[in-house]
């Protein structure tokens, strides 16, 4: 598919068959004030085979040479701005961003003999990168791939890398070497050994964590397209749950419905290893379990589908049974908050302006004081166990600074929960969605906002 046809495909409306499937499954979404009901998945459709499958003799990189070259240029420019001469990238998200390398195992918590050492070196004045370690069979855009030689554990590897960089002229007296102090890979024991090896050859060690974190905040068109497809895949996970859920299913069974649908649609390993958020216990971060979901219990499905390792975060509240007036009220409030965000947070708009508008809405809706976390953060490349980006806005921060910028991508979430008189379970509502900021700002999910009523 060409870029134009793919974009048209991503934003096109659903086929009649998808809407019919939703109606057949008893999936409903109330239309406030209209007295009618329609499927919340009416704009969600399947993904064709030529998009969700790759021929067996192909193992392509996710993006073009031009895309990766542009990323390297942006990283070097940010290094220059931050006064970093040599950046030593170890975070999986950074390796994937720079040259597309991705595997399941980075030796994060392995036995000491299998210490983490995969990394990429970038010099501010060189239009190239050196990729150390890694599995040679796994594709990478990095043209210069080198094994880490030496012996004697981390000390031997660190010495070999430092000597290699010294021979290249990248490491010398006074070189400001940026290591990613905020990365969990490598662990402290290994990271400090590399710091010492770089310092022994004249390097001045500084924190380089912000280089790729800041560069990744503004997405290229190719990155945005990947997030859009991830949102489409996530929508299919939700649709599968709505079509397949029955009271008495376990959280694991519910998550299996979504996982199967997203994988069958061409999605990759999910960015968040969770799905079901029950009314009790009141937490957003439970791993799927054998606990069941019964009729009358509101529950949230929080999914992060992935395409080309980019993810979209989308959640909806689900309810099997006859909804109470309080459930409907909270559903409308959760929906309305997202609508205020989309209509207010344009590219160039001050974050404080958006927060003020959203707080006013929540106050007028009578839910300001019952919100859980009410904010959003930038998202993009996701490697479990984490998926949260560096930039964040929070509607509880009444003195926020900064602006929303064009081509930023964030999610937004606001969980509402309170006792529902005469009911076993609290009233619950939550909409999480993913947004591309611009003029206009776009919500990427094609699922209607509000609670999904089942049964």
121 and 132 Cβ atoms separated by less than 8 Å: yes
Residue 385 pLDDT > 90, yes or no? no
Segment 41-70 mean pLDDT:
90
Distance CA 361, CA 59 (A): 49
Q: Which of 215, 243, 263 is the last residue of a domain?
A: 215
211 and 78 Cβ atoms separated by less than 8 Å: yes
451 and 316 Cβ atoms separated by less than 8 Å: yes
Residue 386 has what pLDDT? 84
* Alpha helices in 15-152, H assignment, sequence order: 16-24, 49-52, 65-82, 92-99
Q: What is the percent of the chain where pLDDT is above 90? A: 78
110-169 pLDDT tens trace: 889 999 999 999 999 999 999 999 999 999 999 999 998 877 899 999 999 999 999 999
Residue 407 has what pLDDT? 98
CATH number of the domain within which 240 lies? 3.90.230.10
Q: Which of 215, 248, 279 is the last residue of a domain?
A: 215
- Judgement on whether residues 124 and 265 belong to the same structural domain of the protein: no
72 and 109 Cβ atoms separated by less than 8 Å: no
**Cα distance from N-terminal residue to C-terminal residue, the chain:** 39
Domain that holds residue 13: 3-45+218-454
Segment 198-223 mean pLDDT:
97
- Judgement on whether residues 199 and 229 belong to the same structural domain of the protein: no
Residue 352 pLDDT > 90, yes or no? yes
Residue 26 has what pLDDT? 53
- Judgement on whether residues 423 and 443 belong to the same structural domain of the protein: yes
- Judgement on whether residues 230 and 344 belong to the same structural domain of the protein: yes
303 and 439 Cβ atoms separated by less than 8 Å: no
Residue 21 has what pLDDT? 45
Q: Which residue's entry shows tokens 């939550």?
A: 430
Segment 32-36 mean pLDDT:
38
């Amino acid at each position: 598919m060409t870029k134009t046809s793919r974009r048209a495909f991503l934003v096109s409306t659903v086929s009649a068959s998808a809407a019919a499937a939703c109606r057949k499954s008893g999936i409903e979404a109330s239309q406030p004030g209209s007295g009618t009901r329609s499927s919340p998945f009416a704009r969600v459709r399947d993904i064709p085979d030529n998009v969700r499958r790759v021929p067996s003799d192909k193992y392509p990189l996710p993006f073009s040479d031009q895309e990766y070259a542009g990323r390297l240029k942006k990283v070097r420019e940010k290094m220059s701005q931050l006064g970093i001469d040599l950046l030593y990238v170890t975070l999986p998200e950074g390796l994937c961003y720079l040259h597309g390398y991705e595997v399941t195992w980075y030796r994060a918590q392995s036995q000491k003999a299998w210490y983490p050492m995969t990394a990429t070196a970038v010099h501010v004045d060189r239009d190239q990168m050196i990729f150390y370690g890694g599995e040679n069979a796994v594709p990478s855009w990095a043209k210069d791939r080198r094994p880490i030689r030496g012996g004697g554990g981390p000390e031997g590897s660190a010495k070999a890398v430092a000597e290699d960089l010294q021979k290249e002229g990248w490491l010398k007296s006074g070189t400001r070497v940026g290591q990613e102090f905020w990365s969990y890979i490598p662990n402290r024991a290994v990271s400090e050994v590399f710091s010492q090896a770089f310092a022994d050859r004249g390097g001045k060690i500084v924190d380089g964590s912000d280089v790729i974190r800041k560069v990744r905040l503004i997405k290229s068109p190719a990155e945005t397209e990947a997030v859009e497809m991830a949102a489409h895949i996530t929508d299919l996970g939700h649709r599968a749950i709505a079509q397949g859920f029955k009271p008495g299913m376990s959280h694991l069974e519910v998550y299996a419905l979504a996982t199967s649908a997203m994988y069958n649609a061409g999605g990759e390993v999910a960015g968040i290893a969770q799905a079901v958020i029950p009314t009790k216990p009141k937490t957003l971060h439970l791993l799927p379990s054998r606990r069941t979901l019964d009729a009358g219990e509101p529950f949230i499905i929080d999914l992060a589908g992935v395409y080309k390792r980019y993810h979209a975060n989308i959640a909806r509240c689900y309810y099997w049974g006859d909804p109470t007036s309080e459930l409907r009220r909270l559903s409308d409030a959760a929906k309305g908050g997202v609508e205020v965000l989309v209509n207010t947070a344009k590219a160039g708009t001050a974050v404080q302006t958006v927060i003020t508008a959203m707080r006013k809405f929540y106050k007028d809706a009578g839910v300001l004081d019952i919100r859980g976390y009410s904010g959003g953060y930038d998202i993009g490349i996701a490697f479990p166990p984490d998926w949260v980006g560096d930039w964040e806005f929070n509607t509880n921060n009444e003195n926020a600074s900064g602006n929303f910028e064009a081509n930023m991508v964030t999610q937004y979430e606001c969980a509402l929960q309170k006792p529902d008189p005469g009911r076993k379970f609290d009233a619950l509502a939550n909409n999480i969605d993913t947004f591309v900021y611009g003029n206009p700002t776009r919500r990427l999910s094609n699922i209607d906002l509000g609670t999904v009523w089942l049964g």
